[in-house]
Amino acid sequence: MTIKKIAVLTSSYEHSSLPTKEWDPAANVARFFTQAEVSYHDIHKATAIQQVTRIAGSGFDLIINLCDGSFDGDTAGVEVVQTLERFNTAFTGASSAFYDPGRVAMKMAASSAGVSVPGYMDAKCLADVSQAAASLSFPLIVKHPNSYNSIGLTPDSRVVTAEALQRQALKMIQAYGGALIEEFIEGREFTVLIAERRNAQELAWALPSLEVLFPTGETFKHFDLKWKDYRSLGHSAVHDCALDLQLQDAASRTFFALNGTGYARCDFRMSASGEIFLLEINPNCDVFYPEGAYGCADEILAMTPDGHIRFVEHLIALAQMRREAGRRCWVTRFDRENGFGMFAVAPIGAGSLIKRHEQCNQAIVSQDYVHQHWPSLARRWFDQYAWPLNEEVYAIWSSNPQEWCPINHSCEPTAWLDGLNVMARRDINPGEQLTLDYATYYGSAMAAFDCHCDAPACRGVVSGNDYLLPELQARYGEHFSAFLKHELKGAQLPYKLMETPYGLGVASGRAWREGDTLCKVGWAKQGSHATRWTIHFAQGLHGEPHPLELRYINHSCNPNVFFDIEHNVLRALRAIEPDEPLSFFYPSTEWSMAEAFQCACGQDNCCGRIAGAQYLSDAELARHRLSPLIEHCKLHRIW
């Protein structure tokens, strides 16, 4: 894409009380875009969202965001990034998640990546300061709690006594609500400019490192030295190749561990023993200053062959990739009859990504926690919408409804799973609904429901055990969730359909002991009247048992299973052999059946005509395990 129109956003110092306003030079970006129209926009903290909203809708091909205000400052900062993200613009710099990483998080990430950090204390009160004096090694340095732009740092910020530490820390706490107290690393200081990786083989793109040369009598960048007397600071390329690579590697590891985006500057100290310590990482660091007013980032780019041009080209590529990744190929729509759903707004090719879940945050909960702590409404949602990651832990919806993706079921879906991601199963036209077959990621705990997808292969009723159906396994192959694929590997089907002289029947898929649970049972097509396929499972309610195959369990006056209505399971009445036909005593759940028949089970205790428990004697019923409803009716002989 040709870049023709560019907006450069900078934080306005108008009405700002920040001390940097007197010495922070204006950026000069236009010199890198001689063929494009470049406009500069000073963004005010109070009106940042409104300003950026207008800019986002003004047709710019690229937005270069140089706003760097802190959360506690009075200049525009992260709210600019959040607005740019909201409108999915092609912009440069850090994402909102990386814009201002906390110093503790920064140190943890670096340490986890094998990069050393100085001992420190995040001090909020004088008790913390006393603990720092007792546990850290002097000399110490007392910094702003977010440690940016050398704010609050003076030559006295480096302390060698507990008394001086307390004085400096108290000033910082009173001014900024806290202080970052660090062990001061005596030695050389370096900085590395780092950006998102250019290819899959590198953690990040680290440019050649730069050594900071302090004037006589100075050992660190306090505010006056960084801003007022910056011309007294010297810089030098690192000519020791091994040291240069070591610094670049440390910067890359830190950036990667923090999930860095855009670009940043890493500052390091090297101790007398040669150990490298990360001081901090600064996302959206100052860059593109005019010649003669370069900061460290520009110095690094200037000493790198075609450094500024290559850096700009990389930022453009990152901005365009960010916008492309943020484009959604679907929208959420609602109608009163069918509720919410996801619909394509552009052609989606087979195999294209619809919704990314890999490397994304996901809310999870244990089943026990739900039952112990959730209110009834939330438990009902859990039964409907949670999907299993293992037998006890479930993935659930985000606490933020704006992140919900109401993808509906279809027995002939337009999408399926590829790992955790939702991908197009076939070419999808604009306006088509995006659907998944719930059998590919919901498990046996899912409540059964009637399906009205109208697909030729519609199952009519969808149940939690549908993933066991051979035709679905053949249709979807590897496109099941990891948990269901694991379940399928060791699955022994509890039952299977069989042909009998009377039509379809159900046979045992394995051996069972008396009292074993063959499967969970759900109830679909519920109504107030009995039909040929229903079971009376609650007062005034009849429903078809699910999984669907259970409707084909035939009657016997000497049954081997029964429907345990209290626990919604199918249970073995006695030991059952593999391939043995399953049967239950129909009057055990039915007081008056919709269709009576003459039993031909051939058992010595055959009841003959089967029309429901109402028509059998107490002696005949006493031989069988009955549901609580039938026991109640038998006792009172009422219905």
What mean pLDDT comes out for the span 192-217?
Answer: 96
Coil, helix or strand at residue 254: helix
Regarding beta strands 408-409 and 433-436, do their DSSP bridges make them parallel or antiparallel, or are they unpaired? parallel
CATH label, 492-636, candidates 3.40.50.11740, 3.10.20.30, 3.30.300.30, 2.170.270.10? 2.170.270.10
Residue by residue, what is the 3-state secondary structure of 41-52?
EEECCCCHHHHH
Residues 6+ apart with CB under 8 A from 397: 363, 381, 385, 404
Coil, helix or strand at residue 476: helix
Residue 461 has a pLDDT of: 82
Residue 628 has a pLDDT of: 93
For the chain, give every domain's residue range.
Answer: 5-92, 103-310, 330-361+398-487, 362-397, 492-636
Q: Which of 127, 3, 97, 135 is nearest to 59 (CA)?
A: 3
Domain 103-310: which CATH class? alpha beta
User: For 277-294, what is each residue's pLDDT tens digit?
Assistant: 999 999 999 999 999 889
The CATH architecture to which 5-92 belongs is 3-Layer(aba) Sandwich (3.40)
User: For 312-360, what is each residue's pLDDT tens digit?
Assistant: 999 999 999 999 999 999 999 998 888 999 999 999 999 999 999 999 9
User: Which amino acid type is present at position 18?
Assistant: L
User: For 460-518, what is each residue's pLDDT tens digit?
Assistant: 888 888 888 878 988 999 999 999 999 888 767 788 889 888 889 999 988 999 998 88
Cα-based distances in Å from 374 to 241, 346, 395: 59, 40, 15
What mean pLDDT comes out for the span 562-569?
Answer: 90
Query: In whole numbers, what is the pLDDT of the chain averaged over residues?
Result: 93
* Tokens describing residue 382: 């859990």
Q: Which of 417, 369, 373 is nearest to 393 (CA)?
A: 369
Whether 8 has a pLDDT exceeding 90, the answer reads yes
Residue 638 has a pLDDT of: 61
Between 211 and 231, where is the model more confident? 211
pTM exceeding the 0.85 threshold for the entire prediction:
no
Grade residue 275 by pLDDT with cuts at 50, 70 and 90.
very high
User: Which amino acid type is present at position 456?
Assistant: P
Beta strand segments in 163-233, E = 179-183, 188-195, 205-206, 210-213
Could you give the CA distance from residue 464 to residue 441 in angstroms, rounded to a whole number? Answer: 9
CB-based contact 627:584 (threshold 8 Å): no
**At 409, which helix (H) or strand (E)?**
strand 408-409
Residues 6+ apart with CB under 8 A from 328: 345
**How many alpha carbons fall within 13 Å on the CB side of residue 582?**
29
**How many alpha carbons fall within 13 Å on the CB side of residue 636?**
7
For 291-310, b where at least 16 C-beta lie within 10 A, e where not — what string?
eeebbbbbbbbeebeebbee
Tell me, what DSSP letter sits at residue 428? B
Whether 185 has a pLDDT exceeding 60, the answer reads yes
Whether 639 has a pLDDT exceeding 60, the answer reads no
Whether 129 has a pLDDT exceeding 90, the answer reads yes
Whether 637 has a pLDDT exceeding 70, the answer reads no
For 11-36, b where at least 16 C-beta lie within 10 A, e where not — what string?
bbbeebebbbbeebeebebeebbeee
Could you give the CA distance from residue 57 to residue 416 in angstroms, rounded to a whole number? Answer: 35
Could you give the CA distance from residue 247 to residue 267 in angstroms, rounded to a whole number? Answer: 9
Same fold, 330-361+398-487 and 492-636: yes
* Tokens describing residue 495: 């039952």
The CATH architecture to which 330-361+398-487 belongs is Beta Complex (2.170)
Torsion of CA 14, 17, 23, 28, to 10 degrees: -30
Grade residue 206 by pLDDT with cuts at 50, 70 and 90.
very high
